[in-house]
Amino acid sequence: MTSLSPPKETFLADYRVPDYLIDTVHLHFELGASDTHVRSVLSMRKNHQGLGGDCVLDGEHLELLSVKVDGQQLQGNEYQRTDKSLILSDLPDKFELEIETRIEPDKNTALEGLYHSGSLLCTQCEAEGFRRITYYLDRPDVMAVFTVSIVADKEQWPIMLANGNMEDQGQFDDGRHWTRWHDPHPKPSYLFALVAGDLYRQQDHFTTMSGREVSLQVYVDHENSHKCDHALTSLKQSMLWDEETYGREYDLDVFMIVAVNDFNMGAMENKGLNIFNSSCVLASPETATDADYHRIQGIVGHEYFHNWSGNRVTCRDWFQLSLKEGFTVLRDQQFSAAMNSEAVQRIDDVNQLRTMQFAEDAGPMAHPVRPASFIEISNFYTVTIYEKGAEVVGMIKTIVGDEGFRKGTDLYFDRHDGQAVTTDDFIKAIEDANDIALGQFKLWYSQAGTPELKLRGHYDVINHTYSLHVEQSCPQTPDELDKQAFHIPLAVGLLDEQGLPLLLQLEGEERAYKDFTRVLTLNESSQTFTFINIESEPVPSLLRGFSAPVKLDIPRSNTELEFLMANDSDSFNRWDAGQTLLINTLLALVNNVQLQQPLNIHKGLIEQFSTLLTSRKMDPALVAKMLTLPSENYLAAQMTVADVDAIHAARQFLKNSLARGLKQEFSDVYKQQNSTGKYQFNSDDMAKRSLKNLCLSYLVATDDPMQTQRCLKQMKQSDNMTDTISGLVALANQVGPEGEHALRAFYEQWKDDRLVVDKWLTVQAQSSLPDTLIRIKGLMKHPAFNIKNPNNVRALIGQFCRNNPINFHAKDGSGYQFLVEQIIILNKLNPQVASRMLGAFNSWRQYDASRQELMKKALNDIASQKDLSPDVYEVVTKYLAD
Ligand SMILES: [Zn+2]
């Protein structure tokens, strides 16, 4: 063994095909929490397209017991080892390689490979965890057929699962039992999974479109046996939806989901055996909110859809991660939109993209959807790869239309089934199926940064034409200074002064376009589109449905925004006009706070929101979205120098002003929407609860003691977590004894339910009250908190650092110092989680000089640590780079 080498960068340009291939894998596990024995038998051959030479197998944190080639045991001088690999030389064209290793699952706090969680043993192999189980060609373009046998003590591990179908099982005399699983579909090692433990199983079934009977099974801890229904319902919905929408059918006899309490990610799409963070599976009305139900439905869908977009057709290398993730996120967004409200889904997706991904694209970690290099691939499971990747695939769908997109995806799945491919292969299939060229479009995969569109309209009174001039540009990113013009689909409509849609006919066209929305093709840095037969000056509705992930620069008066907010037929743009109005108002208030001038808002705004609140025509969920103020983080991103204190003060002022100005309306709507029926998860009820609880949050801002009573009453009478937690959040952000009482009572009631306790941690982590950091430090010593559990870390530390700007960015730097201390601990325990937490410093250069100085010092403190993991090293180095 050699010592640890410094982190090394990997480049897409250096990709070459594997020198060896693996046809079949037989894995044999003798399980123990502290000592697991793994025997791997690989039937291997030289890849004639490769360069030949040594066979370099990946392996980390393994104790090597023996290596055999074609049955011959190799001596220590017949192979080489480093801390990351096992190297074999002088191999025949075809051979059988047998490797025995020993691993220690209970010492694995990184939660990659095989690890111990509660009373379970489970795996997480994406991206490079399989190499912590045995030596292997641990890369996605090596696909093999796996057979897995597991032996363990029956009492301790009564359930033993792996990918595929169970072939056989039996028992030994000594109290141990065994199972054997076979997955007929060749797969890369990152999709391998194994679970063992004492679990409750809930079953259902699904008949596929060709008549295959599939057993559906959800495995959870026994105490959670009443929380599986929603996941199973969501799974059946996903299976049916994917057949109807993409023509994709399931391909094994069983589909399993296992809930695990200690998990770095949300969930993992291992073939036939999905492993989920328990927070993304378990739901009951009393313990899960509407948002949880909605998220679970989307994630169950997402992982299920990967069976085709990811498993049957996988990625050639990790630079292609968005091939499976961008496409699958788009699929889960479509699915969630179909199951719930399409308009609300789009608003939520765009809101997340703008808040998180735009910040990433403007920061030191900016990278293209298909990155050109990485040090640690775990750092690239980002909002850019996932959410922007989904927008990119969504734009392709907009460009070729729904039918064309389906033709393209059908060809993609047919052509590449069983292969490991690239984003270029995906584009090629769409091009071939639609007979179009997307060469320029591919820049979306290789250029980082958020494009900006400068739009200027001009109405010609004499010729009755309206011309729209568009200039596109893209800011520099650390990887690239010069950007080429993108191919951008810009969906537009025009409204007359009554708010009615106008026919859209471009100069040179014989007749008007069939719809009131049309997609303009932007492909040059500067273009002008002229609409004819426009009788009076129109109001343009631009980037309808957020047709491209870009920023708009367009001068608009408040009157024009109010007009769009009231009249635009595109619900996304109605919401967006309202948000822009709020952002303009808030930024003006921020300015007044900074100049120490009196604060006020124009009356028109209150009237607008009053109309909105009392309108019975609109979906209550949409009304709630429109009345939700932009977050402090999003506002910070709109300023050249983010002023944390002024933003907080301005936002509080606006919230209080709206609350006081519309108190009666909020109170009336609260009563109207407060249904007394039993909890159900459906769009209508969810919409009502969202508007009701939004009203409650405003009512509490009036400082009327009656409203505190209303919160307490809501908590007391609630039969569901959505209403309970809304009451608790409102109380916990108030000064006074009620909040303390409510928090204490809530904990007493739920202390045995870890997912609910995570919510209790989050409510406190997000509190804007001034003593929050002291409270958090106290909570870290509370029995409810364990730093080895990623959900705990995200609920407390993550929420404080990312979603509590006023306290995290405290002037004295105490928030930064706190995060540094946690990252140093986590770097050793769980590098992936440590690196995620570091993300709170992403926008550090956007703050004032003294905060920048404090954050720079914090980053330097981390950078100067010895033994930094590659995960943390890569991010901290990029943050500090000039
Ligand atoms: Zn995924």
Give me the mean pLDDT over the 275-292 stretch. 98
CA of 267 from ligand 1 middle (Å) equals 8
15-50 pLDDT, tens digit per residue, is 999 999 999 999 999 999 999 999 999 999 999 999
Give me the mean pLDDT over the 133-152 stretch. 98
350-382 pLDDT, tens digit per residue, is 999 999 999 999 999 999 999 999 999 999 999
Residue 303 bears catalytic tag? yes
Handedness of CA 12, 18, 24, 28 (dihedral sign): negative
645-655 pLDDT, tens digit per residue, is 999 999 999 99
Q: Where are the beta strands (DSSP E) in 511-571?
A: 518-522, 526-531, 539-542, 551-553
Question: Minimal CA–CA distance to 701: which of 659, 753, 760?
Answer: 659
Question: Minimal CA–CA distance to 807: which of 795, 819, 794, 793?
Answer: 819
Query: Would the pLDDT of 603 be above 90?
Result: no
CA distance 68 to 59: 16
CA of 533 from ligand 1 middle (Å) equals 48
Catalytic residue selected from 269, 303, 387, 874: 303
CA of 515 from ligand 1 middle (Å) equals 35
Give me the mean pLDDT over the 725-750 stretch. 95
50-62 pLDDT, tens digit per residue, is 998 999 999 999 9
Please tell me the chain's helix, strand, coil percentages from 3-state DSSP, rounded to the nearest 5: 45, 20, 35
Query: Would the pLDDT of 691 be above 90?
Result: yes
Contact yes or no for 642/590 (Cβ under 8 A): no
Which amino acid would we find at residue 654? L
| Strands ordered across the beta sheet of 120-124 | 113-117, 120-124, 194-197, 159-162
Query: Would the pLDDT of 676 be above 90?
Result: no
pLDDT of residue 4: 44
CA distance 299 to 311: 16
Q: Which tokens in the block code for residue 800?
A: 């404080």
CA distance 468 to 456: 6
CA of 304 from ligand 1 middle (Å) equals 9
CA of 690 from ligand 1 middle (Å) equals 28
82-97 pLDDT, tens digit per residue, is 999 999 999 999 999 9
CA of 306 from ligand 1 middle (Å) equals 7
CA distance 13 to 602: 56
CA of 614 from ligand 1 middle (Å) equals 41
* 163: DSSP letter: S
CA of 257 from ligand 1 middle (Å) equals 15
397-407 pLDDT, tens digit per residue, is 999 999 999 99
Percent of the chain with pLDDT over 90: 97
CA of 284 from ligand 1 middle (Å) equals 25
Element (H, E) at 471: strand 465-473
CA of 655 from ligand 1 middle (Å) equals 37
Give me the mean pLDDT over the 592-610 stretch. 94
CA distance 373 to 478: 13
Name every residue whose Cβ is closer than 8 Å to that of residue 340 and which is 6 or more positions away in sequence: 294, 683, 686
CA distance 777 to 736: 21
Question: Minimal CA–CA distance to 125: which of 274, 22, 301?
Answer: 274
CA of 326 from ligand 1 middle (Å) equals 8
Name every residue whose Cβ is closer than 8 Å to that of residue 229 and which is 6 or more positions away in sequence: 202, 283
Binned at pLDDT 50, 70 and 90, residue 231 comes out as very high
**Average predicted confidence (pLDDT) for the chain:** 97
The SS3 call for residue 11 is strand
> How distant, in Å, are the alpha carbons of 8, 11, 379, 506 from that of 375?
6, 9, 8, 49
Count of C-beta atoms within a 10 Å radius of residue 641: 12
* 139: DSSP letter: S
What HEC string does 396-444 produce?
Answer: HHHHHHHHHHHHHHHHHHHHHCCCEECHHHHHHHHHHHHCCCCCHHHHH
Binned at pLDDT 50, 70 and 90, residue 1 comes out as very low
pLDDT of residue 62: 98
Contact yes or no for 583/561 (Cβ under 8 A): no
255-273 pLDDT, tens digit per residue, is 999 999 999 999 999 999 9
pLDDT of residue 99: 98
Contact yes or no for 648/690 (Cβ under 8 A): no
pLDDT of residue 7: 85
CA of 150 from ligand 1 middle (Å) equals 27
CA of 325 from ligand 1 middle (Å) equals 5
Binned at pLDDT 50, 70 and 90, residue 6 comes out as low
Query: Would the pLDDT of 197 be above 50?
Result: yes
CA of 228 from ligand 1 middle (Å) equals 21
